[in-house]
Every structure is written in structure tokens, then in C-alpha cells.
Structure 1
Amino acid sequence: MRINGYYCRVFMLFTYTTFLVLEFVTRCSAIEVYHEWHVSLDTNVSPLNVNQSVIAINEMFPGPLINVTTNDVVHVNVFNNLDEPLLFTWHGIQQRLNSWQDGVSGTNCPILPHHNWTYVFQTKDQIGTFFYYPSIQFQKAAGGFGAIRVNNRDVIAVPFPKPEAEFDLLIGDWSTEDYKISKSMMRNKDVNSYAVPKFILMNGKGPYGNNLSKSFESFTVTRGKSYRFRISNVGNALSLNLRIQNHEMLLVETEGSYTNQILLDSLDVHIGQSYSVIVKTNQSEADYYIVASPKLTNTNDSSDLLGIGVLHYSNSTRGVTGPLPTGPDPFDVEFSRNQARSIRWNLTAGAARPNPQGSFNVSNVTLSHTFILLGSLEEISGLPLYAVNNVSYYTIGTPLKLADHFVNGSGVYQLDAFPHDSVNANASYGISVVSGKHKGWAEFVFKNKMNVMDTWHLDGFGFFLVGFGDGDWTPASRDTYNLVDPVVRSTVQVYPGGWTAVYAFLDNPGMWNLRSQVLKRWYLGQELYIRVFDADPDPAKERPPPENLLLCG
């Protein structure tokens, strides 16, 4: 509900604390959105005819849609009915000045079983397509995810005509293994126990035509209209290619950035990435296949490892027919990389604010730091673990943000002990925290020497995606960067045997998680934290701890 404007004005008259005035002025122009979630394991919402417990929210899988407008204040009261601790993270929501609500192990104490805690965050200066999920205990493999829409304010123009309707399409790989069994096996030397998922789901539903599917996803449309599909890869192991039989997709947005509009027959969506596409229903009245197939994996039309849904025209009397629409060769990395290079920022469009995206550019920025980060599989103390620059992150009982606030990190972590470049030293455990200069420009180069796809995500910021390349990165690789119109997004893919380079403007103070979005890599240590610090205690630069702050460790 909207805060009453009268009380906003009275509050401002009698408040002398600058921060509180500014905070309340912001909220006076916003909507307060409230959710109450009851999180539990539920066999009734399993997508397949197998005995499997799924993490459900209010007995729903996927969980409830968070549908808000930029600058709204979101309250999510989470009741943990699981038998283990729980945290939720808000993938791509930048949590301006407020890493206290980030929902990862380095920033928040977990919600204990049979307890509740309320997240409060603002979708400040953001629009776009995002999603949420549980961030600890390997729980994301069991569900608990859902869509987030952040809509533009009416006064900000959208660079495409208003669609007839919008649909959320959460695609992702799915295993029928109990997530606790997978977790236990990985912690006991079997890192490949979660290597190949069994199915691809669409909005938590099994593939059309598969005998094990309880139901399949179908979208009803009217001929001659346009529809916006908000697509997110919420999976854990596989990059996916999405396509719709006999229909093109007009790409318009990715993770809060409007893109140059390009028509696509298919779209690669890597783990953790989100897109918006416009689909025109300009075909004859019929039903059409929607297909999501894995990259770097062989499949055929009868494979379980295909996500299949239906685009249903409202007056159709004919079901889906013919072969499934074919996509690009799943092993054609160059096709995927060229498509990624073609996705560029729309420099003339506004986003959450009226000034065009092009008013922010990276053509002549001064870099304050370069981080060269190599993700790898290592053996440490006899266990296979993932590492960044040979350091496998070790999660401790005290959240880093909590330690930073109360004891300046003393005795909990050592700042900047982590190597900023890939090294040849023996792999080890570590509590990896590096300094990021507040309001400085950082360059991150992600390297991948393995033969599988990787993706990286940074909480709290957007990346300017400036370059991809094969082989090793060198300083000369900067000559190939796109510094004119690189798209801004929060999650980037790193191709096998290659590198990806991004710039980030570190204007958001806090303790922020940088991680592989491939779930088993994240769970087994491929992550670190960026500490963006400003010594000025002015709370307008970083919010103080919330009144309901949980303490632990």
C-alpha cells in the first residue's frame, strides 16, 4: 500500500536527522509491497511423477511472483518451516546502499528452522527481469525460486510498444535426486554426483509429451498481438538455448538494461541470466512448440533433457504438430559467442531514470584495480573442491558483513590476503575478501580453462560486458574490448577455454558476493567477497544495520 502523503509531510517537518528525512522522502514517492512466505518441503508440487520433496513457498512451486515498480519498498516475511537454516537472495536486485538484505552467507545470519525474518529492500533506480532463490545448503537444487519483475514508472518511456500481456518463463535443469543426498555425496569426494541433470523444466513443469510429467507449461495468446516473455535460466548446471516454433523473438532487455533490438530465431540463456523478448503472434491459429535445449550436450527429439512447452493460440483447434524446432549446434561455441557480442546497450533508451543509458559510458574510464580470476577444480585435504585463484572459499559461522560492522573484521577474516591474479601455488581453503575502491572502476577478467561453461554473478552491481576471447587473457586483449556500447548485466558467461572481461563501477558500499552461478561450483568454494568501503559514517552512503538484524557466530 502507498504511504499516506500527509504523514510523510508531517514527519519531515519534525525530523532533524538528515538521513531519515532523505529516507522518508524516498519512501513517500514509493509503494510499500508486502509478502508473507511459508517455506516448506512439499511432495505435492513435484513437477514429475516421482517421489520427490520440493522446496515450496506458500505451497507453490515456483514461488510467488514479486511484481513491483522501480523505487518500491519490498517487505518479505519468510517463515522457515524446513529442518535446516535458510536464506534467500534477490538475483540482480542491486540493494542500493544496503548489503544487509543481500541474503548470502557473507552478509546475513540464516533464518533458523521454525523461525521467521523479514527482508526489507528497495528496487531503487532499477527496471527489468530478475528472480530469487535460496542461497545456502544447496537448496536451490530443490526449488524455492521465483520471478521478480521491476516495472518502469509511467513517466519513463519504454522503447517498445506496450505488449498485450507479459509472461514469466523460468527455465532450468532439474535433477530427481534428493538435494541432501547430492550435497552429501559432493562433500564426500564425489564431485560429479550432480554432473548431469535429468530434465529441463519450464515454470516448474515437466516437458510436454513426457510420461513422467505431471503437467506442461502452456501460454495462451491471441493472434495479431505482441507479448513480452521474461525469461530466466534458474537452473544449476546447464546453459540453455530457447526457441519458439515458427516465431521470432525480438530481444529488448536483459537484467535491467534495455538492449539494441535484434530479431532472433533462438536465444542462448546461460545459468543465472535473464532476458525480455517480444513475440508477435503472426502465425495461423494453431499450437506451437516452445523448446529449451542444453548447450554442450547431445540431445534428440525424444530426449528427457529437453524443456518443451506450448504456445497456444486462443482459437486453435489443432495441437502441436511436426518436429521440434531445431536450434544451433549445441557445440558451436562461436555461434553463441557471436550472439553474445551482438547484444548491446540501447544508448538512446532511458531505464529507471529519464536520462538515456548512453549517458553512462566506459570509453575513457580510469581503472582503479584489475582482478584476474581463474575458476578451477582442485584437490584440498583429499577432497575435490572448486577454487578461485587456487583458494576455495570457506564459509564460517560469522557473516563477514556482521564482523565488519562490529569488530572491523578483526579475527574473522584478513582483508586482501586473497591473490588478485591466478597463481601456481598449492590450492588451499580461505576466507576470500578483497578491497574495492569506493566509486572506483574495477576490471574483472574471468578465465575458464575447463571444457564446460561457467557463469559469474556479482551481487550489488551491474557489469559492463566489454569482451570475450579464446585462450589466455593478456593486457593486449584490451584492444579487442567494446567500450562504445557494452551491455550492462549482473551475470556473464565464460566459454570453455576462454575469458570474459567486465568493468564495474563500485559506487555501492557494502560486502558483496562474487561467485560462480553454477551451483556445485558455488557450493564447493568458487566465490569471494568484494568489500566496498567508505570511512564516512554518513548513512546516506550506506544504510545502518536493520532493527531486526540477526546475530550469529
Structure 2
Amino acid sequence: MDSFNRWIWSMAAVFVVLVATTGAEVIDLRWVVASDYTLWTSSLAQRVITINDMFPGPLINATTNDVVKVNVFNKLDEPVLFTWNGIQQRLNSWQDGVSGTNCAIQPGTNWTYAFVVKDQIGSFSYFPSINYQKLTGGFGPIRVNNRIVINVPFPKPEAEFDLLIGDWFFSDYKVVRPGLGVSVDVPDMILMNGKAPYGYSKSISHESFNVTKGKTYRFRVSNVGTTLSFNFRIQKHKMVLVETEGSYTNQIMLDSLDVHVGQSYSVLVTADQDDSDYYIAATPKLLNTTDDSPLVAKGVLHYANSGSSVGVSPPSGPDPWDIEFSVNQARSIKWNLTAGAARPNPQGTFNVSNVTLSETIILHGSEANISGLYRYAVNNVSYLAPDTPLKLADYFVNGSGVYQLGDFPIQSVKETASFGVSVVGATHKGWHEIVFQNDLLSMDSWHLDGYGFYVVGFGDGEWTIGSRSTYNLYDPVVRSTVQVYPKGWTAVYVFLDNPGMWNLRSQHLKNWYLGEELYVRVHDDDPNPAKENAPPENLLLCGMFGEPMAPSSAPEPQSGA
């Protein structure tokens, strides 16, 4: 038996032991990914990417340590990949679903993702990661629930609701994609779970949640948009913040909550008002709107014995231009040190109050002009995806001919903007400080696949070493996506113990698509540390290692999970 087959059998044995000893399950999903021209969101027929005829796509509902398998049948007319936003995929960047780790799933073919939600809980999302497809759908919610033996730090709610909110464009992504330029991109609408705002059209449904007076509900709120941060609130109801992207937070009472592109939160809402209907609203940040604007997302909280509908106007929120409000709220969101999460020991067992940093990486996100082309860049390098995924090149030829370690400047900005294949070699099992410096006049948000950040600080202007004096090193929240305010900085700590090739990117789709990303290669030649899994048996090859798979005659599965 060769080494690869031995690995396959060993991984199968690991899955069997994991399922047997932890009560974990194997979750088998079959997705048919297609495009549908219907009146989904407005009176205009437009292309919407569906999964099993659903928009948004189906919920992935897992529990810590479950094995998730997603067999994706691509019925689009172009390649597709899915990324699992916030799922850490221990030792397994082969399943990450971005251009640097996977060959795309070609039209007419299928491919199965397989990963373990190892030592993780929380609220997340998924979406297509290439070809600007997220602009037109393909996204959906992910829940990772606590194992039954781990206490949740709040009473079990009456029910849980997934609430995907995001900006939306009426233009087809295939029309927008080749024409991306310097113009300010203002979306046409903000949707709630794929539905237009309440009152927008009698022929288009709005989102509504049924509640019973006196009961408490958990809302898992995700910003699945491409461009806009938003402020979320429920008319006359307080919200208790309890979780964000895999971390239980200190429980704070809020009137409203800022949610930035790519972020997810859990809030508890008690139906403690008179029997009636109440607005659920989300309004964009850094943009002026009116109550009747389609850029004000409006849904309904409907009491079981309601005798009246919502009023004329949704609840007012903070000034959309009030950066100080947003920063102060962000600083108030802290880690619950006494709560357990994926493990029985408290979250506070893992802290950054006394760590030794291996390296500081400073990343400037900016606009760039390269040979007359409008681009986004990191440290003046605009990422240009090679034909061969980095992970394949790294494994088979040590990156030769695809990327070169050491080319990317990690603490300086190149004088002249240029294209590049940006890869940073990082110390395995080392603590790294990453400073995101936003040179733009707009909001940005950054995400690192495979990890959670300890969010230690926010600030205005240029970060300096002296900025460390403002850090919160006692109870910084841990999350996978962090916002960076206009002309400001955000600092995070991250312990790079998950070997692999991991995408570090702007979550703003246009920025990402036009080059604001890089990859972090976490590797150790020492044979003793835990290594990343070997390639999966169904590995797709492309680029220098072979042509993409030809369309197959694989039967189309039944719709549904």
C-alpha cells in the first residue's frame, strides 16, 4: 500500500474514531448550483445563483467535531468554488475553496468538499469565491452548535433564526465583472434573507419572523453583502449580544448593532412588548438614506396575537456617519473569559496578555493604478491569481514557477504599484501581530481563512509602535473578520498553529476581486509538529498539473440536503 492510500485509510479511521468517541455525525449534503432568472428580489427579472432551487442557500447545521461533506453539482455555465467563511478546517486548507487552494469545479461536473468543524462553535456563512459570483447569490448560513456536554452561557432560546442581510445590485454580475472601475458603487437594495424591504412591492414578499410574547429568541445575523456595513435594530426591542463568529462575548444590552461585510453575530431578543408587529431594520453606514429607500432593509417581527401592522417609519438608528459610535461599540465587544465554547475549559484559558510576538505584519489596503488599470492593492502589490493554485504548487513543486517567498513586503509599501502573487511565509506556532492599515476613504474589512483573530485595537491615522499602549490584551474578542475604519488601523494577534496555505483578504468583493488579498503559508519542516493533511483522494488538478476535468455525465441528485 503506497503512502497516499495509507493516508486515506488513516483519515477514514480518524473519522470513525471521532464519530464514535464524541457523538459527532457525518453530515452529507448534495447541492445543485444553478442560475435562475425570476422575480426574486424586485420587479426586474435578474440572474440569481441558487442552491437546490433556494436563495439564499440551505442551512449547514452542524455540531462541534461533525464531519461535513458537500457534494457540489455545478450547473452554471462557468467554474465555481465555495468558501466556508469562518470555518477553520484544522490541518486542511485543501478544502478552503478559494483560488489559491483549489482548482475550480467545472461546468457540468461535481466535486465533494469534506471537512471537520473541529473544536469550533458559532455563526458563519458560505458563498462562491470566484468570478464575482457572490454579487448574484450562492450564499447561505452555517451554524456550529455546542456539543451537549458543553454548557452554553445563556438559557436555551425558544427558537433560532438565521438572518442574512446584505446589499444587492440589480445588474448581472457578468455585466458588472468586466467593467469594474473607479466609479463609486452604490447598491440598489439591501435584502433580508433574499427578500426586498417591507412595503417595496405588493408582488414581492418581505421577511417576517413569528414570535410569542414572553419568549426569547436567538437571531444569527450575518452581513452577506459585498460593499456596505449596516446598523441592525428591532423596533422597541433590546438585543443582548452573546456570540460572534465562534466566540461567546460578554453579554451587553444593545439598541442597535453595526455589522460589517463578512461578519456574523448572535443576539438574544425577548418578545416583551405589546402584541403587535414591529420593524426589523438595517440601514447602511457611511451613506445617506431615507425611510422609504430600498437601501433600508425592512422586515417584520410578528407577535402571535398581533392585532396591528407596523407603522409608517422604521426605528431610527445612530447617525450613519458617526464613526466614533461604531468604534466605541466595537471596543465594547469583548471575550467572555468564563464561558466554555468548543471545549469545557473557559475561553479565558487562551489569552494574549503575556505572549511573545514572532513577527509584526503591516498591511496597507489601497487603490492602485497599474498600466492604466484600476486595481486594489496590499502594500502596493495587487494580487493576480496564477493558473495553478498555490496549494498545489506548494505541495508538488515547493512553489517553483508559481510563487516566490520573500517577494512580498510585510512592513513597507512598494514605491510603484505592480501585480504580484503575494505569499507570506509565517512562523508555525508563532504569535503574529497583523496591523490592517486602511488608506481608503471607505470602510474595509479583512478576513483570514483557517483562523480567528484576537482583535486588540482600533485607531485613527497611521499605526505606530506607540499605538500598542492602547491595546486591549485582557479580553479581546476572537473572530475571523474584522472591520477597518476609513483612514484608520485595526490590530490583531493570531497564533499560527494551523499549517496550510491560507487566504488573507478584503471581504469587500470589489476590493478582493481587484487584488486586495494575499496568502499566508504556515509551514514547519520539523517532522514533530502536527502537519497538514495530505491531498484528498478526489483532488482536482489544473494549471501546470493538468487540464480541468471535462464535463461528466454524473446524474443530477434530488434537490435538497
Alignment TM-score > 0.5, same fold: yes
Which residue in 2 is equivalent to 1:237?
Answer: 227
Aligned partner letter, 1:306: V
Task: Work out whether residues 390 and 422 of structure 1, in 8 Å CA contact, stay in contact via their aligned partners in 2.
Answer: no
Which residue in 2 is equivalent to 1:289?
Answer: 279
Which residue in 1 is equivalent to 2:311?
Answer: 321
Which residue in 2 is equivalent to 1:27?
Answer: 19
Q: Does 1:168 align with 2:168?
A: no
Where do 1:65-144 residues align within 5 Å? 65-144=59-138
Change (3 A) 1:404 1:481: same
Task: Work out whether residues 393 and 525 of structure 1, in 8 Å CA contact, stay in contact via their aligned partners in 2.
Answer: yes
Task: Work out whether residues 163 and 193 of structure 2, in 8 Å CA contact, stay in contact via their aligned partners in 1.
Answer: yes
Where do 1:335-350 residues align within 5 Å? 335-350=325-340
Shift of 1:379: 0.3
2:40 corresponds to which of 42, 46, 52: 46
Query: What is the CA–CA distance in structure 2 between the aligned matches of 1:349 and 1:45, rounded to whole Å?
Result: 45
Shift of 1:541: 2.5
Which residue in 2 is equivalent to 1:445?
Answer: 435
Give the secondary structure class of the aligned counterpart of 2:469: helix
Change (3 A) 1:436 1:365: same
Aligned partner letter, 2:17: V
Q: Does 1:192 align with 2:183?
A: yes
RMSD of aligned residue pairs (Cα, Å): 1.6
Query: What is the CA–CA distance in structure 2 between the aligned matches of 1:424 and 1:151, rounded to whole Å?
Result: 44
Where do 1:219-298 residues align within 5 Å? 219-298=209-288
Task: Work out whether residues 418 and 433 of structure 1, in 8 Å CA contact, stay in contact via their aligned partners in 2.
Answer: yes
Q: Deviations over 1:285-340 (max 9, x none)?
A: 00000000000000111112110000000111211125210000000000000000
Query: What is the CA–CA distance in structure 2 between the aligned matches of 1:113 and 1:166, rounded to whole Å?
Result: 35
Which residue in 2 is equivalent to 1:9?
Answer: none
TM-score of the two chains, using structure 1 as the length reference:
0.95
Change (3 A) 1:225 1:21: same
Shift of 1:244: 0.3
Give the secondary structure class of the aligned counterpart of 2:183: helix
The sequence identity of aligned pairs, in percent, is 68
Q: How many residues align?
A: 536
Query: What is the CA–CA distance in structure 1 between the aligned matches of 2:500 and 2:366, rounded to whole Å?
Result: 27
Change (3 A) 1:247 1:412: same
Give the secondary structure class of the aligned counterpart of 1:324: coil
Query: What is the CA–CA distance in structure 1 between the aligned matches of 2:92 and 2:448, rounded to whole Å?
Result: 15
Query: What is the CA–CA distance in structure 2 between the aligned matches of 1:138 and 1:546, rounded to whole Å?
Result: 27
Query: What is the CA–CA distance in structure 1 between the aligned matches of 2:309 and 2:202, rounded to whole Å?
Result: 20
Q: Does 1:333 align with 2:323?
A: yes
Give the secondary structure class of the aligned counterpart of 1:183: helix
**For structure 2, which runs of at least 5 residues remain unmatched after alignment?**
1-5, 544-561
Which residue in 1 is equivalent to 2:521?
Answer: 531
Q: Does 1:425 align with 2:415?
A: yes
Query: Which has the higher mean CA deviation after the structures are superposed, 268-277 or 37-46?
Result: 37-46
**For structure 1, which runs of at least 5 residues remain unmatched after alignment?**
1-13
Change (3 A) 1:547 1:327: same
Q: Deviations over 1:505-531 (max 9, x none)?
A: 000000000000000000000000000
Which residue in 1 is equivalent to 2:460?
Answer: 470
TM-score of the two chains, using structure 2 as the length reference:
0.93
Change (3 A) 1:400 1:326: same
